[in-house]
């Protein structure tokens, strides 16, 4: 049975527009550009010194919110270059929103803003989306503001129950999920018609110099560790990490691995500098419909990683309430479904799958967007690291990555 259109006129307009365009991956992803800086890595902050104080919120007088996010991570109108769901937010609230694809990977972004954060200064963004482990670091150092749920009724009603309480942010006082996804393997189907099944397949001598991996340690090392038999959300330590680092180091030094990058890895796949890689799930779907259906993604046979990127309000943000209203907008199931149809990652919003059934029933059954228990059983969250482990493991990973 067809679901009725929502009453809200702005959301109604978006849904009508999506229906008219027969929202599917080919239509909505067409025209999204690929672009990000090459990998650079920043040292971890020590977190010493006085904790900064939250900036004064001027949302009442300045109707502005500035959002930093990753590339490929919001619905785009291929004709105008505008973001329809963000345009709806502005029309609905009267708040001017600026959006920047400023995050290539967690470390490079943190490296650009950490000095300002430490001083409690405005980093030029009122809300930013970062991965669980980096969100944990930001909270630990006092670089985030506590959220006010009275400005986010959609969150209270629609946040997926399993995500309401996490070890790095009990009670979700400082963060809320934006999208989730998998890290796994992808390959060029034209060049490798037989396909790949495991991380070990990347080390085939025939692929020497044509393999890419992610500059996110937890995804690259997480996939390697699981290939070696370590369940990354379990009880493991230095020995298991060292074994994975040995594999990583060997293949970097031998030239098997050509590139270690954040979002810019998609450029290497497109120009065939690499034909196989450790990647993020939704990016491959976008790449296929942006540049032709040449690539395939799979969760490795021994397991991939599972992660969430999170909204957080930096300590120096001067538009906190406006940021919370933005977050609230994206927790409307209709809006969450429209975004998911573009980005092909996992929405954290109850009701998004039902809304997707109206937009695109095929996408509602896509295991990379709405995974079932069987799919989730083969993907694991990299366990939390204490401060000493994070600094030691990150430094070791970066020492190899910087030489690539």
Residue, of 387 and 338, whose pLDDT is higher? 338
Confidence of residue 402 (pLDDT cuts 50, 70, 90): low
Cβ–Cβ contacts within 10 Å for residue 393, how many? 18
In angstroms, the CA 263 to CA 101 distance is 10
341 lies in the same domain as 319 = yes
Confidence of residue 19 (pLDDT cuts 50, 70, 90): very low
Is 375 within the bounds of a domain?
no
| Total number of domains in the chain | 2
Is 1 within the bounds of a domain?
no
Is 53 within the bounds of a domain?
yes
Is 80 within the bounds of a domain?
yes
Q: What is the mean pLDDT of residues 243-271?
A: 95
13 lies in the same domain as 123 = yes
Cβ–Cβ contacts within 10 Å for residue 123, how many? 21
102 lies in the same domain as 224 = no
Residue 127, pLDDT > 50, answer yes
284 lies in the same domain as 313 = no
235 lies in the same domain as 281 = yes
Contact 120, 50 (CB under 8 A): no
268 lies in the same domain as 162 = no
Q: How confident is the model at residue 263, as a pLDDT?
A: 82
204 lies in the same domain as 222 = yes
Quote the strand ranges of 281-329, DSSP E.
295-298, 304-312
Residue 355, pLDDT > 90, answer yes
Domain that residue 221 falls in? 181-306+380-401
Residue 26, pLDDT > 70, answer no
Measuring CA to CA, which residue among 36, 2, 43, 53 is closest to residue 283? Answer: 36
Is 4 within the bounds of a domain?
no
136 lies in the same domain as 285 = no
143 lies in the same domain as 231 = no
Q: How confident is the model at residue 17, as a pLDDT?
A: 52
This prediction's pTM? 0.82
pLDDT in tens, 55-102: 999 999 999 999 999 988 999 888 888 999 999 999 999 999 999 999
Is 119 within the bounds of a domain?
yes
pLDDT in tens, 262-301: 888 999 999 999 999 999 998 898 888 888 899 999 999 9
Measuring CA to CA, which residue among 36, 175, 161 is closest to residue 104? Answer: 36
Contact 393, 242 (CB under 8 A): no
Residue with tokens 């590139």: 259
Output the average pLDDT for the chain: 88
Distance (Å) of CA 261 to CA 207, 213, 269, 308, 324: 18, 7, 12, 19, 31
DSSP-based three-state secondary structure for 182: strand
CATH number assigned to the domain comprising residue 315? 3.40.190.10
Contact 57, 320 (CB under 8 A): yes
23 lies in the same domain as 168 = yes
Is 93 within the bounds of a domain?
yes
Is 2 within the bounds of a domain?
no
Q: How confident is the model at residue 12, as a pLDDT?
A: 54
Q: What is the mean pLDDT of residues 181-200?
A: 97
Choice among 287-291, 381-385, 392-396 with the minimum mean pLDDT: 287-291
């Amino acid at each position: 049975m067809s679901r009725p259109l929502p009453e809200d006129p702005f959301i109604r307009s978006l849904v009508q527009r999506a229906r008219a365009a027969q929202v599917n991956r080919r239509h909505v992803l067409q025209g999204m550009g690929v672009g990000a800086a090459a990998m650079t890595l920043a040292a971890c902050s020590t977190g010493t010194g006085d904790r900064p104080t939250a900036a004064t919120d001027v949302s009442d007088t300045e109707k502005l919110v500035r959002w930093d996010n990753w590339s490929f991570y919001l619905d785009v109108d291929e004709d105008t270059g505008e973001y329809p769901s963000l345009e709806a937010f502005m029309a609905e609230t009267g708040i001017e929103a600026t959006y920047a694809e400023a995050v290539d990977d967690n470390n490079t972004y943190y490296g650009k803003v950490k000095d300002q954060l430490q001083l409690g200064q405005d980093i030029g963004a009122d809300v930013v989306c970062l991965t669980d482990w980096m969100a944990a670091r930001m909270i630990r150092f006092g670089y985030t503001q506590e959220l006010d749920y009275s400005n986010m009724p959609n969150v209270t009603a629609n946040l997926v129950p399993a995500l309401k309480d996490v070890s790095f942010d009990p009670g979700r006082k400082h963060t809320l999920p934006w999208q989730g996804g998998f890290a796994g393997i992808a390959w060029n189907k034209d060049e490798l018609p037989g396909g790949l099944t495991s991380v070990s397949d990347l080390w085939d001598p025939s692929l020497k110099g044509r393999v890419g991996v992610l500059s996110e340690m937890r995804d690259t090392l997480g996939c390697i560790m699981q290939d070696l038999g370590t369940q990354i959300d379990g009880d493991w330590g230095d020995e298991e990490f060292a074994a994975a680092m040995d594999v990583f180091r060997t293949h970097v030094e031998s030239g098997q691995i050509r590139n270690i990058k954040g979002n810019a890895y998609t450029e290497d796949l497109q120009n065939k500098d690499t034909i196989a890689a450790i990647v993020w799930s939704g990016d491959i779907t976008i790449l296929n419909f942006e540049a032709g259906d040449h690539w395939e993604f799979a969760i490795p046979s021994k397991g991939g990683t599972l992660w969430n990127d999170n909204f957080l309000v930096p300590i120096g943000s001067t538009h906190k309430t406006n940021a919370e209203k933005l977050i609230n907008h994206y927790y409307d199931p209709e809006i969450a479904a429209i975004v998911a149809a573009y980005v092909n990652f996992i929405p954290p919003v109850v009701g998004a799958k039902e809304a997707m059934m109206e937009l695109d029933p095929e996408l509602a059954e896509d295991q990379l967007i709405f995974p079932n228990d069987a799919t989730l059983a083969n993907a694991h969250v990299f366990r939390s690291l204490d401060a000493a482990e994070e600094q030691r493991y990150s430094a070791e990973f970066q020492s190899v990555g910087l030489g690539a």
